[in-house]
Amino acid sequence: MRILFIGDIVGEPGRRAVKRLVPRLRAELPADLVIANGENMAGGSGITPRTADEVFTSGVDVITSGDHIWDLKEIMPHLAAEPRILRPLNYPAGAPGHGSLVVDRPGLPAVAVVNAQGRTFLADLENPFPLVLAEVLRLREQTPIIFVDFHAEATSEKIALGRLLDGQASAVIGTHTHVQTADEQIFPGGTAYLTDAGFTGPHDSVLGREIEPVIRRFQTNLPQKFAVADGRILLQGVLVEVEDATGRARGIERLSRPLPPESD
C-alpha cells in the first residue's frame, strides 16, 4: 500500500495545484490512497462543501483538517453527511463530524485514517495522547494500516505522539506549521514519521499569505487582512509505503512539486 499525503492546501492556488498534480502523482508514484489536509483551502481559512467536492474530484480520497475546520459555518452540517472529511478526534463529545474513518475499497487493503489536534499553543481540547492511542488500538481490530494526521504547533508534541504510537500506527505525519521539515524517518516499531508535511499553495509568501500585510502586522501590531498569495505554487507532502499484512512502514519520502505551466 502506497499512501500519498498532501500538506495543508491553502486557498485557490493550493486547490489548483491539487487539481493539476494529483492525477499525475497517482499514476507516477503510484499512489493507492491520497489524503490531504484541507483546513485552509477555502479562501485561505476553512472548508466549504464546494471546495471539498473540488478536491475530491481532483483525486483526493480523504480530507483531514485542524483548528480552522469551523471557520466557515456551512461546513458544519456537511460534516455529518460526508464522512470523508475529518475533524480532529479530540474535540468534545457532540461536536459535528468524525475524527477517523476506515477506507475499504475492492482490491486494496483497508486503511484507517485518524485526525487529531495538539494542545500546545492551540485550543485546549481533550488530551490527544490517550484518545488517539485508544482510537488506534480500536481501529487495529479492523486493519493494521493506520495513518495519523497530527495537526499541532509544537515539534515536541508531534514527536512525542509519534513515539507513543510507534508500532501501532503505520504513519504519524504532522501538519499546521506550513514548513516542511527534513526529519522523515521510520521509528523502530515500524511507524513512519515526519514533523511537518509542509503546505500546498503559494510559497512566495508568508505561509501562503501575501507578504506585506504580515510584515505590517509584525511591525505595527495592528489588524491586517491576510489575503492568499499566488506566486511559486508547490504541492508538498509525503509518500509512505506500508506492508499490507503488518501495517509496518517500509518507506517514507518527502515531496515538493512545482505547479507546471498551463501548457504542460
Check: CB of residue 179 under 8 Å from CB of residue 205: no
How far apart (Å, rounded) are the C-alpha atoms in residues 35 and 4? 6
Alpha-carbon radius of gyration of the chain: 17
Q: Grid coordinates standing for 80?
A: 455529518
How far apart (Å, rounded) are the C-alpha atoms in residues 122 and 78? 24
Q: Which residues are known catalytic residues?
A: 68
Check: CB of residue 117 under 8 Å from CB of residue 88: yes
How far apart (Å, rounded) are the C-alpha atoms in residues 27 and 36? 17
